[in-house]
Amino acid sequence: MRYNAILAFAGAVSAGTVLWDGHANQYADSSFLDSWSFSNQVGPYQWYIHGSGATKNYVNLGTSYKNTADTGSNQGIRITNDKTSIWNGQSMQRTELIPQTSAAINKGKVYYHFSIRGSSTDPTQEHQIAFFESHFTELKYGLISGASGTSDNRLQWYVGGQSKWATTLDSSTWHNVAYGIDFSANTVEFYHSTGSDSLTLIAGPVSASTSSNGADWHLGVLRLTTQGVSENWDFSGVYIESGSLTTSIVSPGGAAGSSSSSTAAASTTTATTKPTTSSTTTSTTMITTSSKPVTTSPTTTTRLTTTTTSIAAPNSSCKIVYVYV
């Protein structure tokens, strides 16, 4: 008889079951990525889409790269693109990490979590961010290819090539995101907040051609140019869960393994989060309904105003549940 360890979280830490954890809390630097290969698939990430330079030229870990409101993350991941970030001879810059896991992250209803912040970004070029291979859902930034104008400093959520939401990007704001993907119903939801605010549903469910082999979600940035300034994009609180959505930004940092069948000793782990003051913020988002490529002047725009109240529980705990098979 063997058993699998499934971590179930309660309170403000996690409302669902973590299927895959991409925090990389346990690593001192990005050199752990160098151990991965197609013949040696170890660690939480696949690492092969990048330029010809050293790993540290494209990926770095650090406390200054994380959302400080996320006490579940020890550090964040900085993704860098520059003129050397050319992969496989393509005419674009790419630095991307892919989840290394056998967990069912492409089945049923799941939530893909991450926080993102951009700095020294180029709004004159299209960027494809945190996307699936088929691009059924993704973030985009900059002037979309084929759009009119010379610059577009908006971060947008796309479904099937159409913009559904947009906001202005600035280098000091953390954008917290969760894709609510139902692979059975073929729909996608978009949850968003900024800073320390809890996630709220912004759009969806939207019909989508949800398709994934479980190894084609690209955490990183594809930039449609071979030139331009060096860019940094920071990612924090990266994980995938099933069950109920965790709306708190305090993520279950480093608690789940990178494999869906890791064996653990019989023990119980408890984590405590620091109490925070509840806060209420109001934000305005934009939902575009144009079926054409989004330009700097969307065809139809609807303004939605949402009020978000963020309350973190004084004490939150997690436990390990063993499932015997």
Q: For residues 105-138, b (16+ Cβ closer than 10 Å) or e, as one string?
A: bbeebbbbbbbbbbeebbbebbbbbbbbeeebbb
Poorest-pLDDT segment among 26-30, 70-74, 239-243, 282-286? 282-286
- Residue 265 CA to residue 270 CA, distance in Å, equals 15
How many Cβ atoms from other residues are within 10 Å of residue 269's Cβ? Answer: 11
Q: For 178-202, how does the pLDDT look when each residue is reduced to its tens digit (9 = 90+)?
A: 999 999 999 999 999 999 999 999 9
> Does an H or E element contain 287, and which?
strand 279-288
Mean per-residue pLDDT over the chain, rounded: 81
Is the CATH number of domain 23-256+275-314 2.60.120.1160?
Answer: yes
- Residue 264 CA to residue 274 CA, distance in Å, equals 27
The predicted pLDDT at position 324 comes to: 38
pLDDT above 70 for 260: no
Q: Which residue has the higher pLDDT, 37 or 301?
A: 37
The predicted pLDDT at position 211 comes to: 93
Residues shown for the chain: 325
Rounded mean pLDDT, 142-171: 96
Residue with tokens 């790419």: 94
Domain ranges for the chain, please list them: 23-256+275-314
Rounded mean pLDDT, 254-274: 34
Q: For 57-108, how does the pLDDT look when each residue is reduced to its tens digit (9 = 90+)?
A: 999 999 999 999 999 999 999 999 999 999 999 999 999 999 999 999 999 9
Question: What is the three-state SS of 55-121?
Answer: HHHCEEEEHHHCCCCCCCCCCEEEEEECCCCECCCCCCEEEEEEECCCCCCCCCEEEEEEEEEEECC
Q: For residues 273-294, b (16+ Cβ closer than 10 Å) or e, as one string?
A: beebeeeeeebebbbbeeeeeb
Q: For 24-36, how does the pLDDT look when each residue is reduced to its tens digit (9 = 90+)?
A: 999 999 999 999 9
pLDDT above 50 for 304: no
Q: Which residue has the higher pLDDT, 218 or 119?
A: 218
Phi-psi region of 22 (alpha: psi -120 to 50; beta: other; left: phi over 0): alpha
pLDDT above 60 for 283: no
The predicted pLDDT at position 119 comes to: 85
Torsion of CA 150, 194, 13, 4, to 10 degrees: -10
* Torsion sign, CA atoms 289, 111, 16, 166: negative
How many Cβ atoms from other residues are within 10 Å of residue 295's Cβ? Answer: 17
